[in-house]
Amino acid sequence: MTGLSSNELRLVEEYLWVLDFVSRCALGVDRADWFYLYDKASELQRAAGHLAEVAHQAYQASTQGQGPRPEAVRAAVAWQGRHYRAARLLHPHQPGGRR
């Protein structure tokens, strides 16, 4: 994820945590492992709260013309998220082009 500003990097990282826990929740449902689902849903809730804080900062920066670069964030999410089921579905990685 080179070339990202510190704010872009933080946004990508927090969003990937959310996608990771969404993926884990899906695994819990697939396996009918309700304790695992409960545990990961709790972690998802915390991760979503952190993402909300970072997204608010990104919004504030964007109102001043200094927001994250959408293409850079999307590309980083697609590349780094390729390991997570939810990310692959929502942000498929296509080298050299957009989806």
Domain ranges of the chain: 6-90
Walk along the chain (99 residues) and give the pLDDT tens digit of each residue: 569 999 999 999 999 999 999 999 999 999 999 999 999 999 999 999 999 999 999 999 999 999 999 999 999 999 999 999 999 999 998 765 554
Find out whether 8 and 71 touch, Cβ atoms under 8 Å: no
Tell whether pTM > 0.85: yes
Residue 99: predicted pLDDT: 45
Among candidates 27, 55, 30, which has minimal Cα distance to 43? Answer: 27
Distance between CA atoms of residues 28 and 32, nearest Å: 6
- What pLDDT shows up at residue 93? 82
* Predicted pLDDT of residue 94: 77
Query: Closest Cα partner for 86 from 30, 46, 26?
Result: 26
